[in-house]
Structure 1
Amino acid sequence: MFKIAKGDVFGLIRPLIDVHTLGILAFSQILEQCGIPAYIADEAPCKDLEALSRGEGGANLRSWLVNRGITLLGFSYRLNPDDALRLFGVLMAFLKREKILASEGGKIRAVFFSGLPSACEAALARYPRLAGVFKGDETPQETMEILGIPEDMMPSDSSLGAKYDLARRKFGEELVLRREYLALKPLDRSGYANYGLWGDRVTERISHGMANRLPPLMRVHAGPYAPDRKEAVAQFLDWTKRLARGGYLDILSIGSSQLSQSNFGESWEGKIDGGGVPIATREEYAEVWRAARPMLVRTYAGTKKVPALARMYEETIDIAWHALSFWWFNKMDGRGPNSVMDNLFEHFEAMACIASTGKPLEANVPHHFGFRGTDDLGYVTSGYLAAKAAKNFGIKTFILQIMLNTPKYTWGIQDLAKARALLRMVRSLEDPDFRVYLQPRGGLDYFSPDPEKAKAQLAAVTALMDDIEPKDSTSPQIIHVVSYSEALALADPDIMEESIKITRHGLAEYRRMKAQGLMEGIERNPDLAEREESLFHDARTMAAALEKSIPNPYSPQGFYAMLKVGAFPLPWLTSCKDEFPGANIPTRIIGGGMKAVDHEGKPLSLASRIDSITRRLQFEKI
């Protein structure tokens, strides 16, 4: 097996046409944490690589390799597998022809390949002497193992985190291998008034489950797409009936199409629709509710006319709870037509409407900041601010969704620290008129395209969920089950039900093994409490600073100002960057978590960030 040595220098290159750069950035940061200099090729050598495929160029590529003193080279191409193999072949031929490989007398002693799974297999078959391949589903620990990084070069604080992650990975692999989860039976959750009827409430179902020591409620997101709209709706109704008959699913989340969210009640002629079920009428929503008996039903908020759609969901599907994203699902992320400010006004108006119904609210907030590279402080702070806004507007029940594995390179102990810090802050708002329920989920880009590995990952992340509040057998109250096929194909009812079985069985087995001493409790990890306390303190300080410096902070204008002045770093934002220059703060993975850094890559202090926000508020026109 290949081993990296001190003194090695890593170069990372991709054809310019491939815009998938986030994985390369995270990869380079892992290397740098291990003390290995890593250089990402800029535009000139990347263009040269494409030119070589046309029989041109090569000088810029050679100059970059030689001048940087590169001894290890990584090639990445995550688009078409055939193109990946062709371009990689061009690169390998160039390295050999120019005598840059160590076997030819040059400096490069190892080459790595990153691409889609089929491309990785083909590359290994054609170039068996490759040092390693990366399919895109590797954990930081797996990445370091493939690279052959010696233990003494790994970050000093990684061993405890790696131990926890490896233990959960092994737990998941063994659980899936045994296949015992397949024998799991549906649960009977009846026995309280209104069960399965109009007026059934998620709060009642949770209370009934807690009183009868039942597992958490299971929620999945479902929404088939087909070119023919009516065919897609008919298929979804069939799926809904199958899931209702199966008895494993408690809460059906309708994965409505983009046009259902942005242009409901309008003509769709000439408009391009994305994935998801294209529900276009009130009657179709009502039909879903009827087909779903006895499941609870909910769906996405609209991306336009949000308050009106919230009222329509009440009237057609007796929506189990509403969800608002405040800063998101608008022009800033390309998910809706509203400007950020208009979106905030609509969401605050919708929140007042939701409060009048007595229904719970879920804030789809922290993970959307996480998708755009925010730091862990921004993740926790944004979630707390959304919860406090909900309380201020009269919401009585708040469902705290926590997406784990976001970004997927986060260590498990840091995920727990984030989740616990956020939960502590939101629970601090609880009183007789404000109740919080926890709803964790796996990350969207966490799962492997290999179905068996993905099943094991699902069991492993379920264990992580249980460790958020390990001393509370009633927590979490809801689990949003991300189906194991997330990275491979759209989940159908069979896959959804198998994913629920893995989740339920994984939760029960993990608790049993911990009780019997077969799994070491995470509470013994000395690093976890320190990480949690640090995040909790910093997020509380940041929230207090924003409340003090921004007039009427829990308002559309207040939330807009927070974004404008850089309360939440968004280095990966692709739209509206000119509108929010204050959010253009670099972040990087440090110690298994995301931290805001200066332009030299050094972590920014909390005091300096608050000072920057205060100064921006003095000069920005908001």
Structure 2
Amino acid sequence: MNEKKSIQYGFIKPALDAHTLGINTVVELLYDCGYNVIVADDKVSKMLNDYKYALRRKGILDWISSKKIQKLGISYRLDENDALNMVGYLINDLKESNLMRFQGGPIETVFFAGLPKACKAIEKEFKGLVVTFIGGESVRETLFKLGVPENKIPSKICTGSKYDDKLMEFGKKLIDSEEYLNYKPKNKLPYSEFGSMKDTLTKRLESNIKSGFEPLMRAHVGPFLSTLSRKESLNQFVDWVKSLAEAGYLDILSIGSSQLTQSNFGENWNDKANGGGVPINSPEEYKKIWESSRPLLVRTYAGTKNIPELAQVYEKTINICWHALSLWWFNKLDERGPYDLYMNLKQHIKTIKYIAETGKPFEANVSHHFAFRGADDVTYIVSAYLAAVLAKKLGIKTFILQNMLNTPRFTWGVQDLAKSRAMLKLIRGLEDKNFTVLLQPRAGLDYFRPDIYEAKIQLAAVTALMDDIDPHNEMSPPIIHVVSYSEATHLATPDIINESVQITHCALKKYRTLRKQKNIEDMSKNSDVNRREVELLSAARKVIAAIEDNIDNPYSTDGFYKIFSSGFLPVPYLWGETEEFKHAKDWKTKPISGGMKLVDQNNNIIQPEAFVEIVLSNLKDAEYNLKLRKMNNHS
């Protein structure tokens, strides 16, 4: 019998944990390596919810035995104590039933994937009996930990992940050398409005080019301790902002305001939970933050209620350097705001019209929110394009294209480059004398490993990835959203933020030097990237054409509602308003060769033409939903 086929992997997670991308990725990798893989169905997953009951655990053991599983994987990314107990109960039952290999049973290895603290506790408790995955492992590392020998890994996986390995090698050399610690912020070239209420992002970029181009560095800053009062938290934040401004590494302060600030600004919060982030609740407090941040440019989150009014507050208090809205998100769909989707779109479009009047840039905070909910790569691109066209039609002059790389985190670098270039090419095609596109790449939200040394290496590596998007344009990217290396473990302090900026600057400079010396591959000529880019562009254009040909006035509140309601933007992991938007949710995606694709129930890739045909059959439902939503909103 074939050696690989003789090994049976089985994976299970409790039904209450919605995180499925990790398991789907591992399953696909093992399939590619030729192994048998079984994933527990809903019935067995629900048994794991009730792991404290012996009868439920017996059902899980029966499943393990009936499926002849030899390598058992458990995934649980919620409470760490629950995770330890869950694994403990199962390991104990496996031993009592003599199912472990060292007892003569079938189970050779047990794997656990979860939060870092849960993994650490499980490793300590079971002393090597359980192999843990904390997240952030490379493709090769994942397969090795799963027990797949190198000679069994297909060449397409080795080739696809080779670029990622090279980036990590680059990052390791940079971090080990510690040369990034020598980076000092360059002197900013002052101009008459520099640091004043009349300063703008455009003026800062123009000055930056004159003084020797380096990308402007933006970082998200949002400390909050539940042990501090609201005023104490604000004072701490002001101190942090002063420290960052004085150090001079950062260019753009992005205020990480609390959920209450976004949803209940200016109201009496009473005993409402802050929800993390800086608890700002008055224009005066925003003014104080702006004053402490001189001469940084400043921006913050949009509101989730009274959105246009809060945008006006930002203009008057912090001279917000650009506004960001997420259009389809931060509402009842993702349980981040009080509005239904239609009302949210209406408020966002009203706000964009106001932003256009101010002349400020606009950032569509859109694509990665679709990716978070299981969208395919084409949807990632199409959603950004639709937002850019809407912005241009509403009078926005400068469009900031945020591009979250490593999302989902298993995405191969070659796929990220193809996706990024396809998106950039489509949206740059909208540019003219009245519309400019500024690329702003960033690392993925859950990309970094909890090990600080490894996370620093990842930060240097993802910076190199950013530079390979447009490798022969030294003015790109003009802005980098620096995600601090401590993202996976703890809040980034000013020192960590500054060091993260140092790593980013130094990595960019070093990588460009290596490119000029021809010591790295010219990724503009990489055939895998170029082939995938052409494929993504073709698919995205077909979907966009179908939208523009079949939806009346697509770039409007009604149009954007119908686009989503009919299923043009698939989100398999949507968890709010699922009945109203069943056509958006009723899709299946699958990680394939480091990218994310739409597949049917038999895991066959759905081609763009077939996708469009399915969606167009849903348009009558979308029209009905829209009519009903309008009636409800007027009642």
Give the equivalent residue in structure 2 for 1:477.
478
Task: Report deviation, 1:267.
Answer: 1.6
Which shows bigger deviation, 61-70 or 442-451?
61-70
Give the equivalent residue in structure 1 for 2:387.
386
Task: Report Cα offsets for 1:390-414 as digits up to 9, x if no partner.
Answer: 0011101111110001100110010
Task: Report Cα offsets for 1:477-505 as digits up to 9, x if no partner.
Answer: 00000111111111111111011001001
Give the equivalent residue in structure 2 for 1:34.
33
Residue 531 of structure 1 pairs with residue 529 of structure 2: no
Which shows bigger deviation, 412-421 or 15-24?
15-24
Task: Indicate how the Cα distance of structure 1 residues 577 and 524 shifts in structure 2: closer, same or farther if over 3 A, else same.
Answer: same
Task: Indicate how the Cα distance of structure 1 residues 526 and 556 shifts in structure 2: closer, same or farther if over 3 A, else same.
Answer: same
Which shows bigger deviation, 174-183 or 501-510?
174-183
Specify the SS of the correspondent of 1:459.
helix
Task: Report Cα offsets for 1:499-551 as digits up to 9, x if no partner.
Answer: 10010011111111222233223234321100011111111121111011000
**Aligned-partner Cα distance in 2 for 1:343–1:48:** 39
Which shows bigger deviation, 66-75 or 3-12?
3-12
Amino acid in the other structure paired with 2:609: A
**Aligned-partner Cα distance in 2 for 1:64–1:392:** 56
Task: Report deviation, 1:201.
Answer: 1.1
Give the equivalent residue in structure 1 for 2:596.
594
**Aligned-partner Cα distance in 2 for 1:280–1:58:** 49
Which shows bigger deviation, 108-117 or 520-529?
108-117
Give the equivalent residue in structure 2 for 1:615.
617
Specify the SS of the correspondent of 1:238.
helix
Task: Report Cα offsets for 1:546-598 as digits up to 9, x if no partner.
Answer: 01100000001100111001111111111111110111211110111111111
Task: Indicate how the Cα distance of structure 1 residues 540 and 86 shifts in structure 2: closer, same or farther if over 3 A, else same.
Answer: same
**Aligned-partner Cα distance in 2 for 1:470–1:549:** 37
**Aligned-partner Cα distance in 2 for 1:75–1:152:** 26
**Aligned-partner Cα distance in 2 for 1:57–1:396:** 60
Judge conservation of contact 1:164–1:522 (CA < 8 Å) in 2.
Answer: no
Amino acid in the other structure paired with 2:119: C
Judge conservation of contact 1:155–1:591 (CA < 8 Å) in 2.
Answer: no
Give the equivalent residue in structure 1 for 2:632.
none
Residue 197 of structure 1 pairs with residue 196 of structure 2: yes
Which shows bigger deviation, 509-518 or 439-448?
509-518
Equivalenced residue count is 620
Specify the SS of the correspondent of 1:564.
helix
Judge conservation of contact 1:48–1:59 (CA < 8 Å) in 2.
Answer: no
Amino acid in the other structure paired with 1:614: L
**Aligned-partner Cα distance in 1 for 2:591–2:158:** 16
**Aligned-partner Cα distance in 2 for 1:609–1:286:** 49
**Aligned-partner Cα distance in 1 for 2:252–2:460:** 20
**Aligned-partner Cα distance in 2 for 1:515–1:160:** 24
**Aligned-partner Cα distance in 1 for 2:414–2:290:** 40
**Aligned-partner Cα distance in 2 for 1:140–1:549:** 41
Residue 250 of structure 1 pairs with residue 251 of structure 2: yes
Give the equivalent residue in structure 2 for 1:24.
23
Amino acid in the other structure paired with 1:102: R
Task: Indicate how the Cα distance of structure 1 residues 384 and 269 shifts in structure 2: closer, same or farther if over 3 A, else same.
Answer: same
Give the equivalent residue in structure 1 for 2:162.
163
Task: Indicate how the Cα distance of structure 1 residues 481 and 91 shifts in structure 2: closer, same or farther if over 3 A, else same.
Answer: same
Task: Report Cα offsets for 1:251-309 as digits up to 9, x if no partner.
Answer: 00111111111111222123222111011111111111111111101111111111111
**Aligned-partner Cα distance in 2 for 1:103–1:548:** 64
Amino acid in the other structure paired with 1:68: K
**Aligned-partner Cα distance in 2 for 1:499–1:192:** 27
**Aligned-partner Cα distance in 2 for 1:222–1:52:** 40
Task: Report Cα offsets for 1:186-210 as digits up to 9, x if no partner.
Answer: 1212233311112111111112222
Equivalence map 1:149-548=2 (5 Å): 149-151=148-150, 153-227=152-226, 228-548=229-549
Judge conservation of contact 1:4–1:148 (CA < 8 Å) in 2.
Answer: no
Task: Indicate how the Cα distance of structure 1 residues 87 and 241 shifts in structure 2: closer, same or farther if over 3 A, else same.
Answer: same
TM-score, normalised with respect to structure 1: 0.95
Task: Report Cα offsets for 1:107-138 as digits up to 9, x if no partner.
Answer: 33222233333443454455455473211221
Equivalence map 1:37-56=2 (5 Å): 37-46=36-45, 48=47, 53-56=52-55
Amino acid in the other structure paired with 2:318: I
Judge conservation of contact 1:44–1:61 (CA < 8 Å) in 2.
Answer: no
**Aligned-partner Cα distance in 1 for 2:128–2:499:** 39
Give the equivalent residue in structure 2 for 1:68.
67
Judge conservation of contact 1:458–1:503 (CA < 8 Å) in 2.
Answer: yes
**Aligned-partner Cα distance in 2 for 1:336–1:199:** 32
Note the residue ranges of structure 2 that are not aligned, 5 or more in a row: 627-635
**Aligned-partner Cα distance in 2 for 1:345–1:155:** 49
**Aligned-partner Cα distance in 1 for 2:527–2:158:** 12
**Aligned-partner Cα distance in 1 for 2:239–2:499:** 18
Judge conservation of contact 1:370–1:406 (CA < 8 Å) in 2.
Answer: yes
Amino acid in the other structure paired with 1:600: N
**Aligned-partner Cα distance in 2 for 1:16–1:543:** 36
- Identity rate of aligned residues, in percent? 48
Task: Report Cα offsets for 1:352-395 as digits up to 9, x if no partner.
Answer: 11111111100000001111110000000000110010001110
Give the equivalent residue in structure 1 for 2:629.
none
Specify the SS of the correspondent of 2:28.
helix
Task: Report deviation, 1:345.
Answer: 0.4
Task: Indicate how the Cα distance of structure 1 residues 57 and 200 shifts in structure 2: closer, same or farther if over 3 A, else same.
Answer: closer
Judge conservation of contact 1:8–1:71 (CA < 8 Å) in 2.
Answer: yes
TM-score, normalised with respect to structure 2: 0.93
Give the equivalent residue in structure 2 for 1:135.
134
Amino acid in the other structure paired with 1:206: L
Give the equivalent residue in structure 1 for 2:566.
565
Specify the SS of the correspondent of 1:362.
strand
**Aligned-partner Cα distance in 1 for 2:148–2:326:** 41
Give the equivalent residue in structure 1 for 2:576.
575
Task: Indicate how the Cα distance of structure 1 residues 230 and 428 shifts in structure 2: closer, same or farther if over 3 A, else same.
Answer: same
Which shows bigger deviation, 367-376 or 506-515?
506-515
Judge conservation of contact 2:47–2:59 (CA < 8 Å) in 1.
Answer: yes
Task: Indicate how the Cα distance of structure 1 residues 349 and 486 shifts in structure 2: closer, same or farther if over 3 A, else same.
Answer: same
Question: How much is the aligned-residue C-alpha RMSD, in angstroms?
Answer: 2.0
Task: Report deviation, 1:463.
Answer: 0.5
Equivalence map 1:64-103=2 (5 Å): 64-103=63-102
Amino acid in the other structure paired with 1:198: M
Specify the SS of the correspondent of 1:198.
coil
Which shows bigger deviation, 20-29 or 388-397?
20-29
Which shows bigger deviation, 333-342 or 10-19?
10-19
Specify the SS of the correspondent of 1:157.
helix
**Aligned-partner Cα distance in 1 for 2:120–2:306:** 48
Task: Report Cα offsets for 1:199-253 as digits up to 9, x if no partner.
Answer: 1111111122223332100000111113411111111111111111000010001
**Aligned-partner Cα distance in 2 for 1:261–1:57:** 43
Specify the SS of the correspondent of 2:167.
helix
Amino acid in the other structure paired with 2:361: P
Task: Indicate how the Cα distance of structure 1 residues 483 and 601 shifts in structure 2: closer, same or farther if over 3 A, else same.
Answer: same
